Amino acid sequence: MSQTVDAIATQGLRKSFGQVKALDGLDLTVAQGEIAGFLGPNGAGKSTTIRLLLGLIRADKDSGPARVLGQDPWRDAVELHKRLAYVPGDVSLWPTLTGGETIDYLGSLRGGLDATKRDALIERFELDPTRKNRTYSKGNRQKVALVAALAADAELYLFDEPTSGLDPLMEAVFTGCLSEIKAAGATVLLSSHILAEVEKTCDTVTIIRAGRAVESGTLADMRHLTRSQVEVVLRGPAAALARVSGVHNLQVSDAVRASFACDNAALEAVMAELVELGIESLTCTPPSLEELFLSHYSVPAAAPSQLAAGPDRHGAGRRSDSESGPAPAQPASGSDQNASERHSSSGANAPAVASNEEA
């Protein structure tokens, strides 16, 4: 009757480096056998999370718990590492060793590798194992790290941007390896910036920003929570739309021509309003994957609820904008168009929302 434990489970994970809060209450759950995408802008805390899960650094004293394969990543590090494999994002290797020696050495630390599997992987990734590490390009160093990790028989694989520097062919090889891992029942946490890779391979996705998860779930779920772009020509005055909840970033020209972003969850209600106003013509564009991620990446950290809000809170976007956190002096209609317009509240009369937190 033993219940399956999650491969990764953290609640309110915290980690500070001096004054900087790298992780600020991160909740991350990855079920066993799942390939979980782990996304977020640079500096969001992805690598810190992985290093915590590996027990390379210790969580703050006031942090919530973290369990990896049911074990404590700090206390049980050695035991746990027999069961997992890791590929760092920025691979550096001992310059005087060859790639083959490096793979064997790392394998020896876990009691040896399956030589057949090792050789097969070297062949698949087209790696020349006789070259000295210092002569490898970034992509080739990445291959060494990938072969070393994939040749290990693990229950959980932690990949920190594993395909950076790989050419598209090798990316495809890696994707193939992921399917094999999944077929074997193992779990993967895949930190990546390559959206196509995530879309193709991942069962679930967690997006983190400023050290906390702003979104997690399946991609289909997430699409539902974002906005479609609506262009409409009405029979009546379009300005009336400003009052409709679920309508954002409204722009009106020629009195009847309107363009706005619409919460997908509010689409039905908004359409009903449009029908009331009388539709001349209408186009509705669903969000692309890029837009989906850009929207999550660029939301100010203080206001994650806008997009994380479930259907029960649909239309709350405008209010949460004005409630949440410090509003910068600049109006949203500034420079960072493609990112900000989907988040600023409707029209110029709405309170300003952070348009560019990096500024």
Partner 1 sequence: MGAATDVRRAPAPGVRRGAAGGGELAGFWKLVRGAVRQNRVRLIIWVLAVPGVTVPAISSYSSIFETRAGAQARAAIMATPTGSVFGGPGYGLDNYDIGASVANELLLWLNLTVALAGILLVIHMTRREEETGRLELVGAAAVGRRAPLAAALAVTGAEVVLIGLAMGLGCMVYPELDKGDCLAFGLIIAVTGLAFSGVGALAAQLASTARAAGGLAAAVLGVAFLLRAVGDTAQVQGDSAWASWLSPLGWANQTRVFVDLRWWPVLLTLAFAAAFGLAAWLLAARRDEGSGLLATRPGPARAPKGLLSPSGLVWRRTKNSLFGWGGGALVMCLAMGPAIGSMGGYLENNPAMAQMLGVDPAAGLDAMVEGFSGVIVLYSAMLVGAYVITQIGTLRADEFAGLTARCLAEPVARGRLLGATEITVGVSALLGMSVAGLGYFAVVATDSSVGPDVAPAIAGSVLRALPALIATVALASFLTAGFPRLAALSWAPFAYAFIHMLVGNILGLPDWARFFSQFTAVPLAPNTDFEWAPAVGVLAVSALLFYAAHRRFATRDLLA
Tokens for 207? 């997006």
Query: Residues 65, 109, 200, 236: which binds partner 1 (CB under 8 A)?
Result: 109
CA dist list (Å): 168 to 43, 50, 147, 172, 173: 25, 25, 17, 6, 9
Distance of CA 50 to the CA centre of its chain: 13
106 touches partner 1 by CB under 8 A? yes
Rounded Cα distance, 160 and 47, in Å: 7
Q: Which is nearer to partner 1, 101 or 273 (CB)?
A: 101
Q: Which is nearer to partner 1, 20 or 78 (CB)?
A: 78
Taking CB under 8 A as the binding criterion, the range among 99-107, 259-267, 331-339, 348-356 that sits at the site for partner 1 is 99-107
Tallying the residues shown for the chain, one arrives at 359
- CB 220 → partner 1: shortest distance, Å? 33
Other C-beta atoms closer than 10 Å to the C-beta of 285 total 12
Query: Residues 101, 171, 199, 231: which binds partner 1 (CB under 8 A)?
Result: 101
Q: Which amino acid is at 346?
A: S
- CB 160 → partner 1: shortest distance, Å? 10
Residues 37-56 that bind partner 1 (CB under 8 A): 51, 54-56
Q: Which is nearer to partner 1, 132 or 223 (CB)?
A: 132
Query: Residues 65, 75, 108, 323: which binds partner 1 (CB under 8 A)?
Result: 108
- CB 47 → partner 1: shortest distance, Å? 10
Q: Which is nearer to partner 1, 53 or 265 (CB)?
A: 53
Rounded Cα distance, 321 and 319, in Å: 5
Please spell the DSSP secondary structure of 126-172, one letter per residue: T--TTSBGGG--HHHHHHHHHHHHHTS--SEEEEESTTTT--HHHHH
- Residues that bind partner 1 in the complex, under the rule CB under 8 A: 51, 54-58, 77-82, 84, 86, 88, 90-98, 100-106, 108-112, 128-132, 134-135, 145
